[in-house]
Amino acid sequence: MKATTIIFATTSLALVSYSALAADEKPHVRLATTTSTYHSGLLDYLLPRFEQDTGYKVNVIAAGTGKALKMGENGDVDLVMTHAPKAEANFVVQGYGILPRQLMYNDFVVVGPDADPAKVTEQTNVTEVFKSIATSNATFVSRGDDSGTDKKEKAIWQQAQIEPNFGGYRSVGQGMGPTLNMANEMQGYTMTDRGTWLAYTNKLDLKILFQGDKSLFNPYQVILVNPERYPDINYQGAKAFSDWLVNPKGQQLINSFSLNGTQLFVANADEQ
């Protein structure tokens, strides 16, 4: 009888302790973001520090800008971190997002095989690069996933007045990492954000063939999902994460993140 009492008391104590811990644990923050912030390793670098500072854990869904914004529209996440300015502006104007904050930037680059059959390195701007790839019917691997990178690529084809339906064009519906791997296997061209490129470069037999055009600027924003539209979201946790990212510590950590001695992103929250 005494043994039963002791076991019951011990079990009850364990349940009370667990309940107390569960009550103290903050609700997780749900972040929808681009594959570039995930594949580059940036979030793996930032999130443990954010959790240590605030006690909030972040569940990351890396799906590309288009899908990330759609999750925000549906109230499936608490905030988004994306890189497609026009789509982000629409997201806010339509009442789905609030408190848009510029966060950081890098740029896009065009990569391809060392042989460079489309003579990309001889071109002076990115629209000429795309025209050269199309007219030479070289292999070009497109993400085709409505990501920020995909939106930028489509805008460049439009600027070049080219419908990307030439024989070498491959739209794969994948994130940046898999797209780079496919371009490598096919020894074709693709356009990538610099962060993911730097994370993958040692695994690929490709090289940067064109960079530096001002139209390849790649800005990132962090935007909260509107709590008036979705009262059940974790607004406080999302706001804490957004605040942390744009404050001096978060910005310094973004600037300090590098691979092989190369900085991947430039923090710019203080420029707004």
Q: Domain containing 206 — which CATH number?
A: 3.40.190.10
**12 pLDDT exceeds 50?**
no
DSSP string over the chain: -HHHHHHHHHHHHHHHHHHHHHHHSPPPEEEEE-HHHHHTSHHHHHHHHHHHHHS--EEEEE--HHHHHHHHHTT-SSEEEE--HHHHHHHHHTTSEEEEEEEEEEEEEEEE-TT-TT-GGG-SSHHHHHHHHHHTT--EEE--SS-HHHHHHHHHHHHTT--S-STTEEE----HHHHHHHHHHHT-BEEEEHHHHHHHGGG-S-EEEE---GGGEEEEEEEEE-TTT-TTS-HHHHHHHHHHHHSHHHHHHHHH-EETTEE--EE-GGG-
**16 pLDDT exceeds 50?**
no
**21 pLDDT exceeds 90?**
no
pTM here is: 0.83
Q: What is the mean pLDDT of the chain?
A: 90
180-239 per-position pLDDT tens digit: 999 999 999 999 999 899 989 999 999 999 999 999 999 999 999 999 999 999 999 999
195 and 67, same domain (yes or no): no
Tell me the residue range of the domain where 68 lies.
2-106+219-271
34 and 24, same domain (yes or no): yes
38-94 per-position pLDDT tens digit: 888 999 999 999 999 999 999 999 988 999 999 999 999 999 999 999 999 999 999
73 and 111, same domain (yes or no): no
12 and 70, same domain (yes or no): yes
Of the candidates 216, 243, 260, which is a domain's last residue? 216
